[in-house]
Amino acid sequence: MPGLIQEPQFKHISIKEIDTTFAAEVEGVDFSQEIPQEIFDEIFAAITKYGVLVFRDTGLDDTRHVEFSKRFGELDDIKPYLTNGRKAKWDYYELFDAGNLDNDGNPHALDSDRSHYNKVLPYLKFQFNIDIKTQGNGLWHVDSSFNPRRASYSLLLAHLIPPPGTGGETGFADTRTAFDELPPDLKQDLLSNDYVVAHSLFHSRKLGSPEYFANVNPLEHKMARHKLVQLHEPSGRMNLYIAKHAHHVEGLPTEESDALLERLISRATQEKYTIEVPWHEVGDLVMWDNTCVMHRATGGSFEGRFRRDMRRTTVHDGSSTAWGLNERGDVKQGFTA
């Protein structure tokens, strides 16, 4: 890959690329015990090179999922979202619910108030206790770009999966290679102008469900500001930091801003830069780097019929651009102070 600081050599793990140059299956990791540092170092080298890693049949439980994730950095947690007496679903606040189960362990019915809960970010549901029916997480996005401190790695573990052929895959898009292969004039424009993008949770909710959120004005809420083109520090490669959370490019008229963001997202999500990762069995773990990869959920015939229990940990970014142009300690979007 162009621009890697050093091409990694894997001596302890096996790497199998998945129909692309930015996703790979990893073998040779025994998750039943503490992972030796030399193996962890190779996992880190692999996520740096590829951006998406798949570990099959890990046997991980909640405890080991959280402990493994902590080795990559400080974890985000759900404590700010547990308002109005709500309690954590599991024993660990670091686990985010990405499944489709109701409180009784059944899949949400398609006509229920929470039928599409698994496709939306949970923040608005927790804050306003509203019935959200939207395709929000079906939009290409990166986790937490709308927060002052963005996310680096997300680690999603399967506890229950629907039958094969009923959907539920996770899609990924390679924004480093997309930047590498931009037309020279567009690349030069981005580099010379050093654009800043304002990201908004409220904006992506309107995109997902414009009628439901017709009265929500993203401009009435504080946005997170991040550079559009950034150095991906672990790999030394340049990257487009874009997502459907992106509301506008600062300094550009609305039409020009919208056109630029749409052009970049459309380019980065071409078939040659994307992949859908299927879930094979309970215990599968998929890890991705939000600072160089976009992702989205895919639906399917499983919705409303089959149970899907997916739990995610999210690592706070520790790079020099983690906080973007935001004040450290700002309140997360979706919540009042």
Query: In sequence order, what DSSP letters do the residues of 63-100 get, joined into one string?
Result: HHHHHHHHTTSPBP-SGGG--TT---SSS-TT-EE-S-
- Domain membership of residue 3 (yes or no) is no
Lowest average pLDDT, out of 43-52, 76-85, 178-187, 283-292, goes to 76-85
- Percent of the chain scored above 70 by pLDDT? 84
The pLDDT value given to residue 86: 75
Q: Which domain holds residue 49?
A: 14-316
**Tally of structural domains, the chain:** 1
Q: Quick one: which of 321, 204, 214, 324 has its CA closest to 261?
A: 204
Measured over the CA atoms of residue 297, residue 243, residue 178 and residue 268, the dihedral's sign is positive
Cross-sheet strand order for the sheet of 52-55: 14-17, 23-27, 52-55, 285-289, 151-160, 309-316, 96-97
pLDDT in tens, 236-275: 999 999 998 999 999 999 999 999 999 999 999 999 999 9
209 has pLDDT over 70: no
Taking residue 307's Cβ as centre, other Cβ atoms within 10 Å add up to 17
List the CATH number of the domain containing 200.
Answer: 3.60.130.10
pLDDT in tens, 152-166: 999 999 999 887 887
Tokens at 212, concatenated: 């439901």
How far is the C-alpha of 165 from the C-alpha of 110, rounded, in Å?
A: 19
Q: SS3 for 190?
A: helix
Residue corresponding to tokens 């487009």:
240
- Domain membership of residue 332 (yes or no) is no
Mean pLDDT of 103-109: 74
How far is the C-alpha of 263 from the C-alpha of 271, rounded, in Å?
A: 15
Bigger pLDDT: 127 vs 233: 233
The pLDDT value given to residue 133: 33
Q: Quick one: which of 335, 332, 291, 285 has its CA closest to 312?
A: 285
Q: Quick one: which of 88, 91, 72 has its CA closest to 80?
A: 88
- Domain membership of residue 54 (yes or no) is yes
Q: SS3 for 303?
A: coil
Q: Are 169 and 19 in contact (CB under 8 A)?
A: no
The pLDDT value given to residue 104: 73
Tokens at 323, concatenated: 């906080």
Count the alpha carbons within 13 Å of 90 in the hemisphere toward its beta carbon.
23
- Domain membership of residue 329 (yes or no) is no
328 burial via Cβ count (<10 Å: 0-12, 13-18, 19+): exposed
Measured over the CA atoms of residue 38, residue 320, residue 181 and residue 278, the dihedral's sign is positive
Do β-strands 23-27 and 52-55 pair in parallel, antiparallel, or remain unpaired? parallel
Mean pLDDT of 231-239: 97
Q: How confident is the model at residue 212 (pLDDT cuts 50, 70, 90)?
A: confident
- Domain membership of residue 328 (yes or no) is no
- Per the DSSP assignment, residues forming a β-bridge with 311 are 97, 157
Mean pLDDT of 275-285: 95
- Domain membership of residue 301 (yes or no) is yes
How far is the C-alpha of 249 from the C-alpha of 235, rounded, in Å?
A: 26
- Domain membership of residue 197 (yes or no) is yes
- Domain membership of residue 321 (yes or no) is no
